[in-house]
Chain A
């Protein structure tokens, strides 16, 4: 097993179908950047994750400069966006969102159609593990990406395990790419 496949919690080992690991952050940036309707799903750990922008809420707000990127905050996190002057982040429970994403008839938050790439970040490890497991089996047409700094095996693509500075750099590349394409 490659070091990159180290899970955030020891026993959270998925299989037989497991996430691919991005060879580098540029590939992740390209995949998300090329998506037609990407959805960034931001979890409650966001305020505890230090990034180059401040915390992950700040990083998500920066990603939102790309108009095609929709952001949904789970838990009660949307309050953080609002307190930072951002009113166009959506709010939904992670599992209710999982249920909607599993419904091929769902037209998204704006009613304009289903999302093609759904990107998860900043969750309690096992919660993301579980919702991505649900999507792996019940939303098989959906491309799911994990931006956590440990391997999330139930996503289709994961950044994989990496040291914190590398993870910050990876996020920087991804968000910069989204900014360039705004």
Chain B
């Protein structure tokens, strides 16, 4: 607990004014003694507290490293070549170095979420006070499953979240220290530390989201959260346009408040990009979601914004250059990203506006959110007037530009997806813009093509201009982020999930670094919604799911309900709302299975790993934050699939289905070690194709605890998808069928023949009360 507090307990005190008995004086916070649940075994675990649990998982899911760089250049001994069996000057091996980088990535991600949470907490405490209650979800008593599970705290007020963040920050320092030269050297211990960072990350995510839900009036786990709009077409470019980019919603809240107070919503457009946009829509559905991170550069370069407000995370670090190109100012609203701008936080509002509108300052740093609203709105209005007629995509004739192309192919070689930019330019020279337009949906918007182009062609803008007509009218419905899953929903679905009758929970999360356009995430979501999985989503993925319509013009948010149940499409919200997804798995263990939650990480993770058929898919994972979020899933035993670019995280955690010993676990009923088959087969896996990911998702939803009926349901999806995309029955069915009752009824004859040919025997694969923890065995032999 907080070291700043003082508590004095005196049984009996005699003084000149009388005798006092049972005196308890507290300076600082009141210690909560009302939580009846006893403290579990691992309150605020240290770096090595859960090491044994991690090693159990890592023994089964061994790392396969794919070095992204053969060198280590972190100290002055280096550069050191670590290729093969070489070691660095400090003694570190290639496996050690790769796992070290994985851990550092997870630490960066966890730090980013924790710092985001800390900034918001300080501001919200200042605004609402430490005693502001945490009312975060309807029909819910388990308001913060991660904080309860990891810290052993039942947070009631904003003050309690300080303790959780204190803990997270302290632990991250310990982890980063392990990466110093001459510290940790064992790759499996680095992996365990990466898991630790992931666990901390989910605490930080939860802290960050529940405080904003409680104070800012976001939807409180409402399955019928309102619909908002997403897409370029939501913005009227002829009005003054404020573009908010990033993840920390506080500056945007101030802008929305100012617009509401001054009745300006019809006159000024405020739109968001990336997770700030999600949280703006949770605050006020009239704010517009322009799109995911990949649209950032395209939207700015199109010339639509009159003012750009950046807060933190995933913002273009060269935003000043692009703002200058279109002649609009920038407000930087976080000290994490000052962009070289003068700090005008304490200057008079009108002076700041004058400097921005006149162009004397290209931008300003406003660290306190409170002034951002007035400055942003007034500046945008004046800049809009100054710009006169707003010319979008103001680059001249595409064909004239394309004529300068030297066909050097540098754009293609720079493109993460090797898109045929050069062919598109060649066609554009002749006035055929269809190839350029076709690139728009596939482009991840990184701008590397422009950087590489020797004649400085504005490739991004050429692509956007070629698809201008479609782009500017694109508008989709999206159900705003609802936040947590209610306790009552968990009670409803706990049993069918744990016994396998709901075939799985698929979480489509993460960034927009897609290999083949944003349509893939909607395709994945729809496949599993039709199959009555629960589909949960957040962040850029949640936006992109909205952007595919069927022939009737409806998207998935318009076709599927928002409740946490079979066939539900649940948008929890921004990146920090990801905590509610893993939080739901934790709550299944606690609320449905009545497993103690307080500081009881290992048992809860063991429960989730063996019983809750949840699979994370981060199809466009790009960032260190995504790595940390994935690591938080790994430690809970939840498998994660990433798209092809996710392979650049440089290590997979792969099971070996052929090694039976890896899949032996305890039967908690009698302590016997039994073989349960490779379920779930992998913990971290990059899929090469969408179809591979679909099949694998169905497969990874299987758990040892599945009932016969549940396993039959899950197998039917696995088999059906496999036949559809691989053109044949899976060749590993004998590893997943435990008894004849597991076999989907409609395929019985066909499957039994296959099993017979494989020498399958009934009950060789057990159906125990599964656990990896010896201490969970209730009775021996």
Contacts and interface: CB of A to CB of B under 8 A. Distances in A.
Interface of A: 6-10, 14-17, 43-44, 74-80, 82-83, 87, 91, 93-96, 98-99, 102, 123-127, 130-131, 133-134, 136-138, 140
B154 interface: no
A15 B69 CA distance: 8
A75 B689 CA distance: 6
Contacts of B656: 99
A44 B727 contact: no
Contact of B644 (A96, A127, A133): A127
B727 A79 contact: yes
A137 B691 contact: no
Given A75-B692, A80-B727, 17 more contacts: A6-B413, A15-B70, A16-B71, A17-B81, A44-B688, A78-B727, A82-B726, A83-B727, A87-B728, A95-B647, A98-B64, A123-B688, A125-B418, A127-B644, A134-B65, A134-B67, A140-B85
Contact of A79 (B85, B410, B682, B726): B726
B632 to A, nearest CB: 22
B83 A17 contact: yes
B749 to A, nearest CB: 21
B65 A137 contact: yes
B702 interface: no
Interface string B677-692: 0000010011111011
Contacts of B81: 16-17
Given A95-B652, A99-B64, A125-B418, A10 B413 contact: yes
A88 to B, nearest CB: 12
Contacts of A98: 64, 66
Contact of A8 (B83, B418, B692): B418
Given A95-B685, A99-B652, A140 B84 contact: yes
Nearest to A136: B83
A83 B728 CA distance: 10
Contact of A126 (B70, B648, B654, B692): B648
Contacts of B70: 14-17, 133, 136-137
A9 B418 contact: yes
A76 B67 contact: no
24 contacts: A6-B413, A17-B70, A78-B726, A79-B726, A79-B727, A80-B727, A83-B727, A93-B687, A93-B692, A99-B64, A102-B64, A126-B416, A126-B648, A127-B686, A131-B66, A133-B67, A133-B70, A134-B66, A136-B83, A137-B83, A137-B94, A138-B64, A140-B84, A140-B85
B414 interface: yes
A125 B418 CA distance: 8
B62 interface: yes
Interface in B614-665: 644-645, 647-648, 650, 652, 654, 656
Contacts of B682: 96
A74 B687 CA distance: 10
A9 B410 CA distance: 9
Contacts of A131: 66
Pick the most buried of A44, A80, A82, A98: most chain B CB atoms within 10 A of its CB. A44
A95 B85 contact: no
A76 B695 contact: yes
B515 interface: yes
Contacts of B66: 95, 98, 130-131, 133-134
B688 A75 contact: yes
A15 B654 CA distance: 26
A124 B515 contact: yes
Contacts of A83: 727
Given A127-B688, A133-B68, A134-B67, A8 B695 contact: no
Contacts, number: 124
Contacts of A80: 727
A137 B413 contact: no
A76 B66 CA distance: 22
A136 B515 CA distance: 25
B645 to A, nearest CB: 7
B725 interface: yes
A74 B728 CA distance: 15
Interface in B49-91: 62, 64-68, 70-71, 81-85
B755 interface: no
A87 B70 CA distance: 39
B452 interface: yes
Interface in B677-735: 682, 685-689, 691-692, 695, 725-728, 731
A32 B330 CA distance: 58
Contacts of B413: 6-10
Interface in B78-112: 81-85, 94-95
B64 A124 contact: no
A133 B410 CA distance: 24
A126 B647 contact: yes
Contacts of B415: 9
Contacts of B650: 130
A137 B85 CA distance: 7
Q: Which of A10, A76, A123, A137 has its CB near the most chain B CB atoms (within 10 A)?
A: A76
A124 B67 contact: no
Contacts of A78: 726-728
Given A76-B692, A82-B728, A126-B645, A93 B515 contact: no
Contacts of A99: 62, 64, 652, 654, 656
A76 B725 contact: yes
A86 to B, nearest CB: 10
Contacts of A16: 70-71, 81, 83
A79 B730 CA distance: 11
Nearest to A18: B70
Residue from the set B65, B81, B82, B650 with the largest chain A CB neighbour count within 10 Å: B65
A127 B81 CA distance: 22
Nearest to B652: A95
B688 A94 contact: yes
Contact of A137 (B84, B452, B731): B84
Contact of A10 (B64, B83, B414, B695): B414
The 5 A-B pairs at the shortest CB distance, nearest first, are namely A79-B727, A82-B727, A75-B688, A75-B689, A76-B691
